[in-house]
Structure 1
């Protein structure tokens, strides 16, 4: 292939890119790179080809091409080639490559081998379930994975599942003056086995409701009062939004993440800890016939 032909193909690739025709763009980049893998601009073409496959959710190709891009990028300087490789390798379960990619980006990881199970702080992820979009809190296990800490209201989503998120924040949440990034979900990596239940509780004071939440959390489960949910338009959701503590006392539905038998025991324990002001009824699995209590 002559360089003039390669230049023409690269122009076509970026035209396809502008039209978001990712498969066409990636194919054109790869045709050129097969002949010119190490030209001055090749590092950019490797990166863009890998990124196009990331957009296509073709993680095997994104990982393979991402290795080539990272091999031509400076280490320890925050080059995005390492970040995208880290995401693709994580999805593939290639922990050696993922660890090397995060180190190449400049991130210090917990020592060890295999799956990364670190403490990277809290953040938010915007779940995408094919039409519904819900922002939930996560505990970050690595630069791109997090465990969901809310009980999602979106159908089919669960407390405790592990998701992979993108690296560029699309909004922020502010809690008590501290700002947390909101990332877009890329995929559900590991489902949770905890079912979602709903129950009507009567809480005489906000402290009663907080005690219920704390009791479930202490036992490794989740509880989400309906009064704590906030509805935002897409514009506000992708901006900087102050997260208000809106949970209130009184009768309301609460979403729970726990096996039904254990949920009943915890609800009984919670109600029995106060002489007045605490009650529950109508415990049911989401989407199934109601139970009682």
Structure 2
């Protein structure tokens, strides 16, 4: 390939990029890189080609091209080539490459080999289940994986599932003066076995609802009163939103994550508590 042809292909790649035609952009970059893999500008082309395949959710290609991009990136300086490779390697379950990528980015990981199951703090993830979008809390297991610790109220998702999320925050949640990033989900990494149930409960005080949530949490399950759910428009969801963890008293629906038999036992235990006043439940239904 002549350099003049390569220049035209790079121009085509950039035009396709501006038009968000990711496949055409990636193909143009790859044609040039097949002949000029190690020019000074090639590191950027490798990165853009890998990123285009990330946008396409072609994780095998994002992984292959991402390894080339990371091999040409400076280590320990937060270069995004390492972050994108870390995501792709995680999705491919190549833990050695994922660990190398996060270290190359400049992140300190827990000691060990294989799957990364650390404690990277709380964050939020915007789930997208075929058009329904919902922001839930996660416990971050690594820079790009998190376990869902809310009971999702949108269909098709469950408490306890592990999701892979993007690295660029799209919004913030502020709770008690602390700020947490909101990331977009990339894919479901590990499904949860806990079904989602709905039940109508009545509670005389907010503390009664909090006691129900605490009881299910103590047993490794989830409970989400309807009064704790906030509806936001897309614009507000991607901005900074101050969030309270309050729940209201009175009759309301509660989403639960637990096996049905155990949910019934815990609901009966909650309703018959020694200090319970006006607690009752009805209409337990499996919804997902």
Moved more, 236-245 or 167-176: 236-245
Partner of 1:33: 33
Q: Deviations over 1:162-198 (max 9, x none)?
A: 1000000000000001000000000111111100001
The verdict on how the C-alpha distance between 1:132 and 1:275 changes in structure 2, with shifts beyond 3 A counting, is closer
Length, aligned pairs only = 287
**Cα distance in structure 1, aligned partners of 2:217 and 2:11:** 55
Tell me how far 1:278 sits from its aligned partner. Answer: 1.2
Partner of 2:174: 174
1:8 pairs with 2:22: no
Partner of 1:148: 148
Tell me how far 1:2 sits from its aligned partner. Answer: 1.3
Partner of 1:291: none
**Cα distance in structure 2, aligned partners of 1:268 and 1:59:** 47
TM-score w.r.t. the length of structure 2 is 0.98
1:57 pairs with 2:57: yes
Structure 2 SS opposite 1:250: coil
**Cα distance in structure 2, aligned partners of 1:42 and 1:245:** 49
Structure 1 SS opposite 2:12: helix
Partner of 2:280: 279
Q: Deviations over 1:146-176 (max 9, x none)?
A: 0001000111110001100000000000000
* Residue pairs, 1:82-231, within 5 angstroms: 82-231=82-231
Structure 2 SS opposite 1:180: strand
**Cα distance in structure 1, aligned partners of 2:88 and 2:278:** 51
Partner of 2:263: 263
Moved more, 168-177 or 238-247: 238-247
Structure 1 SS opposite 2:251: strand
**Cα distance in structure 2, aligned partners of 1:215 and 1:161:** 20
**Cα distance in structure 2, aligned partners of 1:241 and 1:213:** 23
Tell me how far 1:286 sits from its aligned partner. Answer: 1.1
Partner of 1:254: 254
- After the TM superposition, list the runs of 4 or more consecutive aligned residues in structure 1 that deviate by more than 4 angstroms: none
**Cα distance in structure 2, aligned partners of 1:177 and 1:115:** 33
**Cα distance in structure 1, aligned partners of 2:245 and 2:142:** 28
User: Structure 1: which 5+ residue stretches go unaligned?
Assistant: 288-293
Tell me how far 1:275 sits from its aligned partner. Answer: 4.3
**Cα distance in structure 1, aligned partners of 2:21 and 2:245:** 43
**Cα distance in structure 1, aligned partners of 2:132 and 2:232:** 12
Computed over aligned residues only, the root mean square deviation of the Cα atoms, in angstroms, reads 0.8
